[in-house]
Amino acid sequence: MNLRALLILFALCPSLFAASPKPNVVLILCDNLGNGDIACFNPQTKHRTPNLDRMAAEGRKFTSFYSASGVCTPSRAALMTGCYPRRIGLHISAIGAAVLQPVATRGIHPGEETMAELLKQNGYATACFGKWHLGDQPDFLPTRNGFDTFLGIPYSEDMVHDKFPEKNWPPLPLMQDETVIEAPVAAETLTKHLTEAAVKFIAAHREQPFFLYFPEAGPGSRKECYPGPEFRGKSANGLYGDSIEELDWSAGEILKALKDNHLDNNTLVIWTNDNGAVNRNPPQGSNAPYQGMGYSTSEGGQRMPCIARWPGKVPAGTTCTQLCTMMDLLPTVAAITGTKPPQKPIDGHDIRPLLLGETDAHSPYDGTGFYYYNVTQLQAIREGDWKLYLPLDGKTGLGKAAKKPAPQPLALYNVQTDLAEQHESSAAHPDIVQRLLSYAQTARQTLGDNETRGSEQRDAGHVENPTPRVKP
Greatest Cα pair distance in the chain: 82
Q: Can you spell out the DSSP letters for 317-341?
A: TEEE-S-EEGGGHHHHHHHHHTPPP
CA–centroid distance for 166 within its chain: 30
Provide the sign of the torsion angle of the four alpha carbons 203, 243, 399, 162, taken in this order. positive
- How far from 233 is each of 195, 241, 354, CA to CA, in Å? 21, 9, 39
C-alpha distances (whole Å) from 167 to each of 152, 164, 319 are 22, 6, 45
Question: Alpha-carbon torsion 463, 464, 469, 472, what sign?
Answer: negative
Dihedral, 342, 347, 353, 359 alpha carbons, nearest 10: 160
72 catalytically annotated:
yes
* Of 121, 184, 193, 140, the residue nearest 158 (C-alpha): 184
Helix (H, G, I), strand (E, B) or coil at 289: coil
Name which of 117, 162, 168 is nearest 144 in CA terms.
117
Count of Cβ atoms closer than 10 Å to residue 171 Cβ: 17
| C-alpha to C-alpha distance for 144 and 177, rounded to whole angstroms | 10
461 SS3 class: strand
Q: Identify whether 462 is a catalytic site residue.
A: no
Distance CA(167)–CA(390), nearest Å, equals 36
Given the residues 91, 109, 133, 205, select the one marked as catalytic: 133
Q: Kindly name the residue from 30, 40, 72, 225 that is annotated as catalytic.
A: 72
DSSP E strands: which ranges in 44-198? 60-66, 106-107, 125-131, 149-153, 174-176, 179-182
The torsion angles phi and psi of 58, rounded to 5 degrees, stand at -95, 0
* C-alpha count within 13 angstroms, C-beta hemisphere, residue 59: 24
Which residues are known catalytic residues?
72, 133
